[in-house]
Structure formats: C-alpha cells, structure tokens
Amino acid sequence: MTEQTVVAVAPRRDAGVWTDRTFSIGRYLRRNPTLMVGLLLLLALLLFVVIGSFMVDVERARPLSARALQPPGGTLPFGSDKQGRDLFAVMVAGTPLTLRIGLIAGIIGTLLGATLAFFSAYYGGTVDTLIRGIVDIGLTVPGLMVLILIAMNLRGGLDINQMALIVASLAWLFPARTIRSQVLTIKERGYVQIARLSGVGGPEIIVKELLPNLLPYMVASLIGSVSSAILASIGLAVLGLGPTESPDLGMTLYWVLYNAAIINGWWWWWVPPIVAIAVLFIGLFLVTVGLDEIANPRLRRQV
C-alpha cells in the first residue's frame, strides 16, 4: 500500500533554498503566499494569547469566576458560560494548552518516527520489513479508536501532559512512513554513495548527509503531526475523555456540546473556540503546504 503512492509522487529535488545564503525570508514569503498566510494566521492566534494574558487574570478561567451565562459586555469581553467561567480568560488560557498538547505530541512523534525511518530505510533488512509492517498496519487502524481505549484505561484525572503522551503514542506512525520513503529515494544519490565508498559509517552518513537534506521535509512533517495531534486531542475531549478541569479548546467544545449552547442561542460561548480551532487548523495546514513547496521545488515551478 505504501509503494504505489510513492511511485506516483514526483521525485524530489534537494532543498536548495535552505542552503542558499542569500535567501531572504521576506522576499521568499512574497513568492510563497500560502506559507505567508499560514504564518500570519498562527501569529494572530499567538498575539491574541499574549495580549490577552496581559489583559485578564487566567485564574478567571475557573468556574464561578463570574455571573453565569452573561453575554459579552462590560468586564466580560467574551461573556461567561453556564458554570461562570470568564470566557475571555478561558480562550487566553486554553489556546496555549491546546498548542502545548499538539507540540509535545508532534515533536515526540516526529522525532521517534524520523529515528525509526532513518535506521529502517538506511539499513533495510528484517528491521525494515518489521517497521514497515507495523506502520502500514497501524495506519489502517483509526487512531481515535485506539486512543479511546488507552484513555479509558488511564482514566481518572488526566492532565494536559498525560493527554499529550497518549496522543503521541500513535503520532509517530505517519512521520515514520513519509520520512522513510524520502530516505529511500535519497540514499541512492551520488553524494551518499561517495560518502559510503569513502568509508564513512552509517550513523555519520545519516546525520551528515541524509538529515540536512531532509530537514525541510521533516519540518513540514512536524507541523502536520502537530495538527493531527491537536485534532486527536480535541476528538478525545469532545467524547468526554479530556482533562476535565482544563480550559483547553477541546474541553471548551465539550462543555458547549454538553450544555447544547448552540441550540440555546448562547453564541458567545461557542463562536470563540470554533474560530480559534479553525484558525489554528487552517494556519497549520497552509504552513505545511507552504513548507512542502520549499522541500519540493518542482511544485513551485509548475503550480
């Protein structure tokens, strides 16, 4: 199932842009509007959190901080929910928590996946067959289902970090697969062969020859993992398996659904988390597409 898709993808060139010293970020961004819009969206979200944290005490994200179900106005710019959380404080405190889950799980997943991919693809043999088999089978399994089972067994006061670790337990599969197929195409290149003939050892070739060439690709893969980790954590939270006390975006949505806020017309309760989640996912997606363009210059010329 792996190979036929890989065969169809155009062969990737080396990432010239990143080694080019005269490359100016500003000028490049203008030529790559996808990346720019993506970065701007994420930046806007970060700015909201940073500015917001100066304006409001995040302790007010706890229940009973304000009168319940107040529409926006006065001291409550985003209103309050049924349990008396100040929703502005919830958004300011919750957005970074969601980002944190994504970053922890995404970084662990990509590092683990990349390590496995490099060794598996470079050395080949039984280990490679085994890893490829596990990854191929693991990817046909709907991740959310396995995460639900794990979360059920660890239930009882999950915190944000445990949530991130649960999500990370499956986050390495996809990076392992995509990076492995990239290593396979690159390891037969001339410069790798020359290094091998010169007697350079395997680990050194991986670190000095393969890694730098795949770096832009790995960054794109990291952003993709962060995005799917956040998606998984929100999914778990909406199903009621999230960290109950936490004001992160997934749990906020859980309370929105639990109290049927949309049908009851409490728009101020559900609009901010939905907008934040949409901005987050669209931003991350555009950045991945934009980075793909760096990693694969053929796309840039043709599209």
Partner 1 sequence: MRFTYLIKRFGIFLLIVWLASSVNFFLPRFGGQDPMRAHLLEQAMLGGYVQAGLEEMVQEYNAKFGLDKPLWQQYLNYLGDVVRLDFNYSVSNYPRTVASMLADALPWTIGLLLTTTLLAFAIGTMLGAILGWPGAPHWLRFALPPLMALNAIPFFLLGLILIYLVTTRFPFFPLFGGYSPGTLLSATFDSVLDVLRHAILPATSIVLVAIGGWALGMRAMMVTTQGEDYTIFADAKGLRPFTIFLRYSVRNALLPQATALALVLGHIASGAVLVEVIFGYPGIGTVLYNAIRQSDYFLIQGIVFGVIVSLGFATFILDLIYPLLDPRITYRRG
241 binds partner 1 (CB under 8 A): yes
What tokens were used for 144? 């959310």
Q: According to the binding rule CB under 8 A, does residue 300 interact with partner 1?
A: no
Helix, strand, coil shares, percent, the chain, to 5: 75, 0, 25
Task: Tell me the site size for partner 1, rule CB under 8 A.
Answer: 52
Q: Which CB atom, from 11 or from 190, has the smaller least distance to partner 1?
A: 11
| Contact present, 82 and 69 (Cβ < 8 Å) | yes
Classified as helix, coil or strand, 86 is: strand
Burial (CB count within 10 angstroms: exposed 0-12, middle 13-18, buried 19+), residue 17 = middle
- Contact flag: residue 143 with partner 1 (CB under 8 A): yes
Cβ pair 110, 225 in contact under 8 A: yes
SS3 80: strand
Stretch that binds partner 1, among 53-61, 111-119, 216-224, 262-270 (CB under 8 A): 262-270
Our CB check for partner 1 shows the closer of 197 and 263 to be 263
Neighbours of 11 (CB within 10 A): 8
Give the residue, chosen from 40, 43, 44, 141, that forms a contact with partner 1 under the rule CB under 8 A: 141
Select the span of 3-11, 12-20, 115-123, 159-167 touching partner 1 (CB under 8 A): 3-11
Question: Rounded to an integer, what distance in angstroms lies between the CA atom of residue 109 and that of residue 97?
Answer: 18
Out of 93, 284, 291, 295, which residue is the one contacting partner 1 (CB under 8 A)?
A: 284
Contacting residue, 125, 149, 157, 197, with partner 1 by CB under 8 A: 149
Asked if residues 123 and 94 have their Cβ atoms less than 8 Å apart, the reply is: no
Site string for partner 1, 85-124 (x = CB under 8 A): ----------------------------------------
Q: CB of 211: closest distance to partner 1 in angstroms?
A: 26
Of 108 and 287, nearer to partner 1 (C-beta) is 287
**Of 88, 117, 102, 301, nearest in space to 206 by CA:** 117
Q: By rule CB under 8 A, what string of x and - marks binding of each residue 193-222 to partner 1?
A: ------------------------------
For the chain, how far is it from start to end, CA to CA, in angstroms? 27
Is 278 a binder of partner 1 (CB under 8 A)? yes
Closest distance to partner 1 from the beta carbon of 34 (Å): 8
Cα–Cα dist 24/5, whole Å: 34
Structure tokens at 272: 């901010």
Per CB under 8 A, does 11 bind partner 1?
Answer: no
Give CA–CA dist 90/98, Å, rounded. 12
Which amino acid, residue 29? L
Segment lying near partner 1 (by CB under 8 A), choices 88-96, 117-125, 211-219, 256-264:
256-264
The H or E element containing residue 28 is helix 25-31
40 is a site residue for partner 1 (CB under 8 A): no
Binding site for partner 1 (CB under 8 A): 1, 3-5, 8-10, 136-137, 139-146, 148-150, 152-155, 227, 231-232, 234-235, 238-241, 256-257, 262-263, 265, 267, 270, 274, 277-278, 281-282, 284-286, 289, 299, 302-303
